[in-house]
Amino acid sequence: MIDWKKYLIVFLITATLFLSASYLSNYFGGKKIGELQLIQDKIAIDILSSETQYALLSDLSCRNVSGTLLSGELAELGKKLEWGEENLGDSEEVRNLKRYYSLLEIKDYLLAKKISERCRVKSAFILYFYTTLEKCKECEREGLVLTALRDKYPELRVYSFDYSTDLSAVQSMLNIFKIEDTKLPALVIEDEVLTGFHSLEELETRVQESFKLQETKPEETQKK
């Protein structure tokens, strides 16, 4: 009376549909990771090129260097990586990309520092340390503040580092600035370490004083 074969066939069809969905998901996930890798490679080339340029022409005029310096795509990569961490699952590939991203940030940071010393210009940057290992509400809020700040002052560079990143270079950064995991989020502005949450107003005053940055009006940002 009951057609068991049909129940089985329908089960197999449904399972196939499920597998197809998961295949599609993996396929597009892989494409996204590929896209991230492309951006990273481009940034790596940009940085390497700037470094080489810097080493080649030690007497290069400062204006030339600062113009070509530093990949503007770091921030975009950061955003995409953060999204990828939440949406592509906690895969080894994503973790590797994140490590690589941290490394690029450090290189970018070092280069910026070198250039600012040599050319005696103040590069505006903030180092930001947070954690994803445990629920850190203050980190989430600080992240929002920094995003808003960066939108307001496009010249400002924010280098963010996940405390739990398994990379010796990141660990060295933590040691240099004596960042402890109990005091996250932590910010470094002009070699001064600020721990805990700092509001937008507070950081804005700091940034304006330290770097003499001008606020960009929203219309101007869009034109750019």
Partner 1 sequence: MSSISNIIFYIFIFSTVYAQVFLLVTFLENRKKIVIRKGSVKLSSYPAVTIVVPCWNEETTVEKTVDSLLALNYPKDKLKIFLIDDGSTDSTWGIISKFENYPNIKTFRKENGGKFTALNLGLENLKTDFFGGLDADSFADSESLVRIMSYFEKDPSVMAVAPSLIVHNSKTLIQSVQKIEYLMAVYFKKMLGLLGAIHVTPGPLTVFRKRVFDDLGPYRHAHSTEDMEIAYRMQKNNYKIEHCNDAYVYTSIPGTVRKLFRQRLRWIYGFINNTIDYRNVLFRKKYGDFSFFTLPAGIVSIFAVSFLLGRIFYNLGNFLYSKVVQYQTVGIHFTASLNNFDLFFISTKSFIFLEILIFSLVFLSMILGKQMVEGKWRPSWNMLYFLLIFSVIAPFWLLKAIYNTIISEKPAWR
Q: Which residues of the shown chain bind partner 1 in the complex (CB under 8 A)?
A: 1-2, 6-7, 9-11, 13-14, 17-18, 20-22, 24-25, 28-29, 32, 35, 79-80, 83, 87, 137, 140-141, 144-145, 147-148, 151, 199-200, 221-222
Residue 107 or 198: the one with the smaller Cβ distance to partner 1 is 198
Residue 167 or 200: the one with the smaller Cβ distance to partner 1 is 200
With left for phi above 0 and alpha for psi between -120 and 50, is residue 180 left, alpha or beta?
beta
Shortest Å distance, C-beta 133 to partner 1: 17
Residue 62 or 75: the one with the smaller Cβ distance to partner 1 is 75
Could you tell me where the DSSP H helices lie in the chain? Answer: 4-56, 62-68, 74-87, 92-119, 137-152, 168-176, 200-211, 218-223
Q: Which two tokens stand for residue 4?
A: 């068991």
Residue 189 or 203: the one with the smaller Cβ distance to partner 1 is 203
Which has the closest alpha carbon to 192: 177, 181, 202, 207? 177
Shortest Å distance, C-beta 14 to partner 1: 5
- Report the SS3 class of residue 197: coil
CA-CA-CA-CA dihedral for 212, 217, 223, 224, to nearest 10: 30
Shortest Å distance, C-beta 81 to partner 1: 11
- Spatial distance between the Cα atoms of 157 and 160, rounded to a whole number of angstroms: 10
Shortest Å distance, C-beta 88 to partner 1: 9
- Report the SS3 class of residue 3: coil
Residue 36 or 186: the one with the smaller Cβ distance to partner 1 is 36
- Spatial distance between the Cα atoms of 186 and 194, rounded to a whole number of angstroms: 6
Shortest Å distance, C-beta 41 to partner 1: 16
Shortest Å distance, C-beta 165 to partner 1: 22
Residue 178 or 223: the one with the smaller Cβ distance to partner 1 is 223
- Spatial distance between the Cα atoms of 116 and 105, rounded to a whole number of angstroms: 16
